[in-house]
A and B are shown apart, each in its own frame.
Chain A
């Protein structure tokens, strides 16, 4: 670890702000332990656009818009915005769908996994183990030659489409046309003041763009590099900031029972997060990182984002999403289908050495 390395400090700042805002946004009105949860926010936003009918999960989350537009503005400001793509588009789209399946069965994305953990939720331990196992399996695959292909520069501006879509969402959020639906009850009715949510999201989007911070990336680099990995220190800063703020705001409740947005089906928590970790390694980042990369002009990540919106609608419409009661049969089947998809992709996208 080189303390004079500017990148290290940007990573630490990104981790600390992500952990701090993850708790503070819940203090300011977001659901408990869900100050930041990319998968929950996508489910909410898909509902707001009318993609599913769960009346308790419909709200266009400004944080999501902030992540993408903050990353896009930062990338443009530092001349890093590049339209690129063209690598295995359909598998990436389907990966986005299964990322949401894994998150919905666990009830949360990798960021929320650590937010739950730092709030004392011991049911998240199965998810942490699952995420590490999934990342490890993904790394083994990469080592064995599994590769979705490299994206290439595209001069045709396809990278503007996802930031453009999120700009449109911002206009819709402000204009509030009649076809948008905002829940009046349920967890989607709980939200922080929108300017704080948008500003916080934009700040995190910009920091994540500069630092390349990502939860699964942190786990991956730690498995590869140990304590030499800057992302490990970012992850530790995240955990430290979130734990300190959870303790300071009285939101730390150590235990297995009575935890918000959690269930006791530990095997399925493990498998759900393992699926997320495994896919994230294959496609180069967790759901949060995909949003940031899409903001930088990466059309491949943009397709994952589109897949996540489809997945967000499906997990609600088909009853895949778990609840405090546990994981439904459909949810369990969906996770296993996701595992089949990843195993199939591992076989199909493997570059084998010539015999």
Chain B
């Protein structure tokens, strides 16, 4: 391939622009240009998440207080009230699941955890400050043993079958994988 004057000129220009780009990036790096760019999406995302966690903990604080005092019915009523104001918030379903679990209503507790995880997978993630991985694992063990046993003895019972399906969903989420 022979290069004429036109090719050589543009080739030289290409090298100059590439050199300029490298120089620009090097100068920006050493002069703190990286932070001056103001685009740090990971930082923004982390800040948003921290703010959300703090907001959720503050919002559901009264429910936690009622629960600690053993006033489980009042806590459930308070959750109903919050659910009307924030219908897409998963944390309420987690708390409802925990309270129902304490009350011994296993199938409903499982259903509430399922509703929460469908809205937000953080609760099954060990890295999240909201993680409920241990509780969900315990619930799955109990669910498979108790609800699974009942469903086997009463195969005609559709609500038991639905409850077992919910347990399997939680089991699958615990197993990980892409989402």
Binding site for B on A (CB under 8 A): 31-34, 37, 40, 43, 50, 55-57, 107-108, 177-182, 184-187, 189-190, 253, 257-264, 321, 323-325
Determine whether the beta carbon of B179 is less than 8 Å from that of A259.
Answer: no
Contact with A along B140-174 (1 / 0, CB 8 A): 00000000000000000000000001001101111
A215 vs B161: C-alpha distance in the bound complex, in angstroms? 37
* CB proximity of B159 to chain A, nearest CB, Å: 18
Determine whether the beta carbon of B46 is less than 8 Å from that of A184.
Answer: yes
**Is B128 an interface residue when CB atoms closer than 8 A count as contact?**
yes
Determine whether the beta carbon of A261 is less than 8 Å from that of B178.
Answer: yes
Determine whether the beta carbon of B39 is less than 8 Å from that of A178.
Answer: yes
Determine whether the beta carbon of B171 is less than 8 Å from that of A261.
Answer: no
Determine whether the beta carbon of A57 is less than 8 Å from that of B179.
Answer: yes
> Which of chain B's residues have a CB closer than 8 A to the CB of A34?
177-178
A186 vs B120: C-alpha distance in the bound complex, in angstroms? 10
Contact with A along B93-135 (1 / 0, CB 8 A): 0000000000000000000001000100110010110000000
A50 vs B44: C-alpha distance in the bound complex, in angstroms? 13
Offer 11 A-B interface pairs, CB within 8 angstroms, sorted by A.
A31-B176, A32-B175, A37-B178, A178-B37, A178-B38, A179-B39, A181-B45, A258-B168, A262-B172, A262-B177, A323-B179
A99 vs B149: C-alpha distance in the bound complex, in angstroms? 41
Given known A-B contacts A177-B34, A325-B118, A187 and B179 have beta carbons under 8 A apart? yes
Determine whether the beta carbon of B121 is less than 8 Å from that of A186.
Answer: yes
> Which of chain B's residues have a CB closer than 8 A to the CB of A181?
41-42, 45
* CB proximity of B63 to chain A, nearest CB, Å: 24
Determine whether the beta carbon of A184 is less than 8 Å from that of B127.
Answer: yes
A261 vs B173: C-alpha distance in the bound complex, in angstroms? 7
> Which of chain B's residues have a CB closer than 8 A to the CB of A324?
169, 172-173, 177, 179
> Which of chain B's residues have a CB closer than 8 A to the CB of A56?
121-122, 125, 179
CB-nearest residue of chain B to A324: B172
**Is B49 an interface residue when CB atoms closer than 8 A count as contact?**
yes
> Which of chain A's residues have a CB closer than 8 A to the CB of B171?
257-258
Given known A-B contacts A186-B121, A257-B168, A32 and B177 have beta carbons under 8 A apart? yes
**Is B40 an interface residue when CB atoms closer than 8 A count as contact?**
yes
Determine whether the beta carbon of A178 is less than 8 Å from that of B127.
Answer: no
A-B contact count (CB 8 A): 100
14 additional A-B residue pairs with CB within 8 Å, beyond A178-B43, A186-B122, A261-B179: A31-B177, A32-B175, A32-B177, A108-B178, A178-B40, A180-B42, A184-B127, A185-B127, A186-B125, A187-B179, A190-B176, A261-B176, A261-B177, A325-B114
A297 vs B40: C-alpha distance in the bound complex, in angstroms? 34
> Which of chain B's residues have a CB closer than 8 A to the CB of A32?
175-177
Determine whether the beta carbon of A260 is less than 8 Å from that of B42.
Answer: no
The DSSP consensus for interface residues of chain A is loop
> Which of chain B's residues have a CB closer than 8 A to the CB of A253?
175
Contact with A along B42-66 (1 / 0, CB 8 A): 1101100100000000000000000
Option from B41, B121, B178 in Cβ contact (under 8 Å) with A31: B178
Determine whether the beta carbon of A180 is less than 8 Å from that of B41.
Answer: yes
Instruction: Among A56, A178, A261, A262, find the residue whose CB has the most chain B CB atoms closer than 10 A.
Output: A178
CB-nearest residue of chain B to A53: B45
A189 vs B169: C-alpha distance in the bound complex, in angstroms? 22
Instruction: Among B45, B122, B169, B177, find the residue whose CB has the most chain A CB atoms closer than 10 A.
Output: B177
A240 vs B156: C-alpha distance in the bound complex, in angstroms? 41
Given known A-B contacts A178-B41, A325-B169, A107 and B178 have beta carbons under 8 A apart? yes
Determine whether the beta carbon of B41 is less than 8 Å from that of A259.
Answer: no
A178 vs B44: C-alpha distance in the bound complex, in angstroms? 10
Determine whether the beta carbon of B125 is less than 8 Å from that of A185.
Answer: yes
CB-nearest residue of chain A to B42: A181
Determine whether the beta carbon of B176 is less than 8 Å from that of A260.
Answer: yes
Instruction: Among B43, B49, B171, find the residue whose CB has the most chain A CB atoms closer than 10 A.
Output: B171
> Which of chain A's residues have a CB closer than 8 A to the CB of B40?
178
Option from B121, B127, B172 in Cβ contact (under 8 Å) with A257: B172
> Which of chain A's residues have a CB closer than 8 A to the CB of B177?
31-34, 107, 187, 259-262, 324
> Which of chain B's residues have a CB closer than 8 A to the CB of A321?
179
> Which of chain A's residues have a CB closer than 8 A to the CB of B174?
258
Contact with A along B18-46 (1 / 0, CB 8 A): 00000000000000001001111111011
A263 vs B40: C-alpha distance in the bound complex, in angstroms? 35
Determine whether the beta carbon of B122 is less than 8 Å from that of A185.
Answer: yes
* CB proximity of B47 to chain A, nearest CB, Å: 12
CB-nearest residue of chain A to B125: A185
